């Protein structure tokens, strides 16, 4: 997909983990229908062996692309349906743990090198499955905000303690663009809004600059869609972003936020993270 440099999560994770020493590095995520479970187990088992305790394997249920691309990745229609996801997830976990699954196949590395597995979702299906399996769950609030609270409720209602978790553990992914002023943050968010509209129209393109986004001839309907897209996200000055994230934390009781900052210039992205780290994060406290 143009402007999204995430077609090879395991490669990027290896690079980032090798260049750092303490932070956790994970996939957000590996779309399991596109990949054989054995390949995923060997890739992430290798990463976990190289960087023990620092790798998160985020697993998604949807192919995340069209059928032609999904078929080119998988090379077979088998496993591409959402109905096959629970079985394939079970096979993947078995390859890591050695419990059940395909006893004749051993993932090397993989067996005994299980990273933290997260289920990712934008609806209720993966939320329920994560709860039933006792896995941590990450919700895509950044593009499915209307479903965030219902999905988290399903996850917590269906949660069963497991060997991995004693209680539910939830992450919420949110668009966050922080600048010195609200006006500057709104300006920086223009390219993300335009990318969203182009993607919805089936015309994904490389990210525009803020100037190009400002000059785009939006229709009234497009302007309303772009406005709705960011209405429940965190865009603005530190005071504004603090208030928005505080409200989201109160509504969701999330254990973690994953911030996605889709801006044109890397300097603006770094500045956003600096402002959030210094002026927003210290004030965020999860409700008891």
The pair of structure tokens assigned to 86 is 């629970």
Say whether pLDDT at 106 is over 60.
yes
Read off the pLDDT of residues 162-195 as tens digits, 9 standing for 90 and up: 999 999 999 999 999 999 999 999 999 999 999 9
CB 263 within 8 A of CB 177: yes
Domain annotation covers residue 16: yes
Instruction: Give the per-residue pLDDT at 141.
Output: 96
The phi, psi pair for 58, rounded to 5°, reads -85, 125
User: Are residues 140 and 39 part of one domain?
Assistant: yes
List, in order, residues 6 or more apart from 209 with CB less than 8 Å away. Answer: 191, 264
Residue 195 tokens read as 């990318």
Number of domains in the chain: 2
- The confidence score (pLDDT) of residue 62 equals 77
68-72, 77-81, 102-106: which is most confident: 102-106
**What is the C-alpha separation between 255 and 115, in angstroms, rounded?**
19
Tokens, residue 100: 């059940």
Residues 230-283 have pLDDT tens digits of 889 999 999 999 999 999 999 999 999 999 999 999 999 999 999 999 999 999
Whether residue 209 sits in one domain with residue 126: no
Q: Indicate if the pLDDT at residue 75 is higher than 90.
A: no
- 165 and 150 within one domain: yes
Q: What phi and psi, each to the nearest 5 degrees, are found at residue 196?
A: -60, -45
Residue among 39, 101, 88 at smallest CA distance from 60: 88
Tell which wins on pLDDT, 104 or 109: 109
**Total number of residues shown for the chain:** 288
Q: Which residues, other chains included, contact 149 with Cβ-Cβ below 8 Å and sequence gap of 6+?
A: 251, 252
Q: List pLDDT tens digits, range 78-93.
A: 655 667 889 999 999 9
Mean pLDDT over residues 127-137, rounded?
A: 97
Q: What is the pLDDT of residues 44-57, one digit of tens each?
A: 999 999 999 999 99
Beta bridge partners of 191: none
- Indicate whether 1 belongs to any domain: no
In sequence order, the 6+-apart residues with CB closer than 8 A to the CB of 24 are 54, 55, 56, 116
Q: Do 241 and 160 fall into the same domain? A: no
Q: Which of 123, 152, 173 is the last residue of a domain?
A: 173
Q: Are residues 63 and 77 in the same domain?
A: yes
Strand (E) positions, 212-254? 234-236
| CA triple 56-49-11, angle to 5 deg | 60
Domain coverage including residue 101: 9-173
**Domain boundary residue, one of 173, 199, 233:** 173
What does the alpha-carbon distance between residue 39 and residue 200 come to, in Å, rounded to a whole number? 31
Averaged pLDDT score across all residues of the chain: 91
Same domain, 141 and 204: no
What mean pLDDT is predicted for residues 112-118? 94
| 36, 125: one domain | yes
């Amino acid at each position: 997909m143009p402007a999204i440099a995430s077609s090879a999560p395991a490669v990027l994770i290896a690079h980032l983990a090798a260049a750092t020493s303490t932070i956790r590095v994970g996939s957000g995520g590996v779309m399991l229908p596109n990949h054989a479970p054995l390949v995923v187990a060997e890739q992430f088992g290798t990463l976990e062996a190289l960087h023990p305790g620092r790798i998160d394997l985020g697993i998604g249920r949807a192919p995340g692309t069209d059928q032609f691309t999904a078929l080119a990745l998988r090379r077979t229609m088998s496993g591409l349906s959402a109905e096959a996801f629970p079985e394939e997830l079970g096979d993947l976990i078995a390859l890591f743990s050695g419990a059940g699954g395909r006893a004749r196949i051993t993932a090397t590395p993989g067996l005994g090198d299980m990273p933290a597995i997260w289920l990712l979702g934008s609806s209720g299906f993966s939320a329920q499955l994560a709860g039933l399996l006792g896995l941590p769950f990450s919700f895509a609030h950044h593009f499915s905000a209307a479903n965030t609270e219902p999905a988290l409720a399903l996850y917590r209602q269906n949660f069963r303690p497991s060997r991995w978790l004693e209680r539910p553990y939830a992450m919420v992914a949110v668009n966050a663009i922080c600048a010195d002023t609200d006006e500057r943050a709104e300006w920086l968010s223009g390219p993300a809004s335009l990318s969203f509209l182009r993607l919805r129209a089936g015309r994904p393109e490389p990210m525009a600059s803020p100037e190009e986004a400002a000059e785009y001839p939006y229709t009234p309907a497009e302007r309303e869609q772009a406005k709705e897209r960011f209405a429940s996200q965190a865009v603005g000055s530190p005071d504004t972003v603090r208030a928005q994230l505080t409200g989201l934390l109160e509504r969701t009781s999330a254990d973690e936020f994953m911030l996605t900052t889709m801006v044109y210039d890397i300097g603006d992205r770094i500045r956003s993270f600096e402002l959030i780290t210094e002026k927003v994060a210290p004030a965020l406290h999860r409700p008891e």
